[in-house]
Structure 1
Amino acid sequence: MGKKDGKNASRKDAQLVLRLDKNERDAFVEKCKALDTSAAREIRRFIREFMKAHPDD
C-alpha cells in the first residue's frame, strides 16, 4: 500500500529534476500559492495535458 493512511492509492514513485532560473521558479511557486495550488500539482497537470494532446501514433 502507499502511505500509512491509505489516501494515496496511486503512489507516485518517480521524480523529474529540472533546472530553471531561481526568479522564474520563485514567481511560479508564488503564483501557485496565490491560486491555492502547488507547483508540483500544476506541473503534473501540464504533463498529463501535454501527453493527451500528443498521443503516440
Structure 2
Amino acid sequence: MTDQSQRKKASKKDSQLLIRISSAERDQFIDLCDELDTSAARELRKFIRSFIKKRQSTDMHNEE
C-alpha cells in the first residue's frame, strides 16, 4: 500500500454525529453554506477540529 493510499484510508470518515436543532436554524445554516459554496458537513467538521485543537491547547496550559 502506498503512503498516499494509507493516508487516505487513515482519514476516512467512518462515523456519524446526530444533533437536534430547530428547523429554522438548520435551514439558515444550510442556506448560508450554499451561499458560501461549502457544505454543512464540511463546516461542522472544521468547527469540531478547531474546537478540539483549542481545548487541547487550553488543557495543556492548565496542566502547567
TM-score bin (small chain): 0.7 to 0.9
Larger Rg: 2
Instruction: Give unmatched runs, 5+ long, in structure 1.
Output: 1-5
Report the counterpart of residue 54 of structure 1 in structure 2.
Answer: 55
1:27 aligns with 2:43: no
Structure-2-length-normalised TM-score: 0.72
Q: CA deviation at 1:15?
A: 0.4
TM-score by length of 1: 0.81
- Partner AA of 2:32 in structure 1: K
Partner SS state of residue 54, structure 1: helix
> How many equivalent residue pairs?
50
Once the two structures are superposed, residues 1-56 of structure 1 have per-residue CA deviations (whole angstroms, 9 ceiling, x without a partner) of xxxxx7xx121000000000001001100100000000000000000000010015
Unaligned runs of 5+ in 2: none
Instruction: Report the structure, 1 or 2, having the larger helix content.
Output: 2
